[in-house]
């Protein structure tokens, strides 16, 4: 198979790369990421002005169109300087817009997608349960109960990224307490984030700090029927197709991060001198850089293979899991090698290597842990289910 970009895709990549270099320099991203208390509105505003929130949203709903490959090209280029700040774009354009596009009615699409495409509506995903982690279904203690005209939502979610800045929250809850199977009886709600009864509390964390992950409490929150995405009770089946997309998005972020790591490592190796010569002349440094470059190549091949399969409607669940596992581990190892190459400066907050490491270490655990990914791959190879 030939995964080379088409002329149109290559032109789009070059346009995005020029914009990223001009508008999202690494020193800006580094400064914004350091402020855990403040959402990175300057990046949102730049993306909005450029129209990039419309990528992947159908032209019929005010977007720019483009398939998952187009979205991955953009994600890779943005992640090169932005790292985890990629999710300023990704949560709405990739998470919220894709969920509404795949699960929403035509009326909901007309209501929400044009606003998302224009950058006028911010979305956060509120899925993970306290104590649940990867076991979203088994740990589900957030309930939506039927009331006149809608639903009453009660429960708590963890790691709802950018909840304090969001206009809408995509919430997965249980609507049938008697469902025989844990994947049944679930509902997907597109909740107004300013509704009475919602409290978002910031969770301090190691990386992706400015994105502001939160614990969100839902206390008797009323959600009208018009804000239910899809059929009540069938939410899990509705969102399953989007899981591959999420893993592809993570792969693109990691690939972009490896691009940034290699860029900085090469620049430092050429400029830094020790023992009378550039450190890039030392064999050990050359080996580290070669390892980063090889990790990038492997990640790139996996990413474009899976994105191509998804774009052409072919099964790719196992491949998407493999991509997520390999990409996250490659990104973290590449950043760790980058820190080693830069030495003390790699550990300094004045450079970006430490930020690449911090932003991507969490992706070995989310949206599904790499241990669970390995279990899934082994099960697909015919071994018994381990969980």
Interval 194-232: pLDDT, tens = 999 999 999 999 999 999 999 999 999 999 999 999 999
The CATH 1.10.540.10 domain(s) of the chain lie at 7-121
pLDDT given for residue 1 in this prediction: 62
Q: Which residues pair with 213 in a beta bridge?
A: 161
Contact 213, 124 (CB under 8 A): no
Residue 270 has which token pair?
């050429």
d(CA 119, CA 140): 32
Coil/strand/helix, residue 352: coil
Second-level CATH architecture of 125-233: Beta Barrel (2.40)
DSSP count for the chain of H helices, then E strands: 13, 10
Distances (CA, A) of 9 to 70, 78, 88: 7, 15, 23
* pTM of the predicted protein model: 0.95
Cβ partners under 8 Å of residue 49, min gap 6: none
pLDDT value at 131 more than 90? no
Fold (CATH) for 237-380: Butyryl-CoA Dehydrogenase, subunit A; domain 3 (1.20.140)
The CATH 2.40.110.10 domain(s) of the chain lie at 125-233
Mean pLDDT over 156-170 rounds to 97
pLDDT given for residue 179 in this prediction: 93
pLDDT given for residue 89 in this prediction: 97
pLDDT per position as a tens digit, 354-387: 999 999 999 999 989 999 999 999 999 999 998 7
The CATH 1.20.140.10 domain(s) of the chain lie at 237-380
β-pairing, 186-192 with 228-233?
antiparallel
Mean pLDDT over 278-302 rounds to 98
Mean pLDDT over 287-313 rounds to 96
d(CA 84, CA 211): 8
pLDDT given for residue 343 in this prediction: 97
pLDDT value at 3 more than 90? no
Second-level CATH architecture of 7-121: Orthogonal Bundle (1.10)
């Amino acid at each position: 198979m030939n995964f080379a970009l088409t002329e149109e895709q290559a032109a789009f990549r070059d346009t995005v790369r020029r914009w990223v270099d001009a508008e999202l320099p690494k020193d800006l991203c580094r400064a914004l990421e350091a402020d855990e208390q403040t959402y990175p509105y300057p990046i949102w505003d730049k993306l909005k002005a450029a129209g990039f929130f419309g990528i992947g949203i159908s032209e019929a709903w005010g977007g720019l169109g483009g398939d998952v490959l187009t979205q991955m090209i953009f994600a890779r280029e943005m992640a090169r300087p932005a790292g985890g700040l990629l999710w300023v774009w990704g949560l709405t354009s990739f998470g919220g817009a894709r969920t509404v596009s795949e699960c929403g009615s035509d009326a909901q699409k007309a209501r929400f997608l044009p606003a998302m495409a224009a950058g006028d509506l911010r979305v956060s995903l509120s899925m993970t349960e306290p104590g649940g982690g990867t076991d979203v279904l088994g740990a589900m203690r957030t309930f939506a109960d039927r009331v006149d005209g809608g639903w009453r939502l009660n429960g708590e979610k963890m790691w709802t990224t950018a909840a304090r800045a969001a206009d809408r929250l995509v919430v997965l809850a249980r609507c049938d307490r008697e469902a025989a199977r844990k994947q049944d009886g679930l509902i997907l709600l597109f909740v107004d984030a300013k509704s009475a009864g919602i409290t978002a509390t910031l969770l301090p964390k190691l990386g992706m700090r400015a994105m502001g992950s939160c614990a969100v409490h839902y206390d008797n929150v009323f959600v009208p029927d018009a804000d239910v995405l899809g059929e009540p009770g069938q939410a899990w089946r509705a969102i399953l197709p989007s899981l591959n997309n999420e893993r592809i998005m993570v792969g693109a972020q990691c690939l972009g991060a490896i691009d940034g790591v290699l860029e900085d490592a090469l620049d430092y190796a050429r400029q830094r001198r020790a023992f009378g010569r550039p450190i890039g002349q030392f064999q050990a440094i050359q080996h580290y850089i070669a390892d980063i470059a090889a990790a990038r190549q492997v990640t790139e091949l996996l990413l474009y293979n899976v994105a191509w399969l998804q774009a052409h409607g072919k099964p790719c669940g196992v491949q998407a899991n493999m991509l997520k596992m390999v990409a996250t581990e490659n990104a973290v190892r590449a950043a760790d090698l980058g820190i080693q190459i830069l030495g003390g400066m790699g550990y300094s907050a004045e450079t970006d290597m430490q930020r690449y490491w911090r932003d991507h270490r969490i992706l070995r655990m989310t949206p599904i842990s790499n241990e669970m990914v390995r279990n899934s791959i082994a099960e697909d190879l015919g071994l018994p289910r381990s969980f």
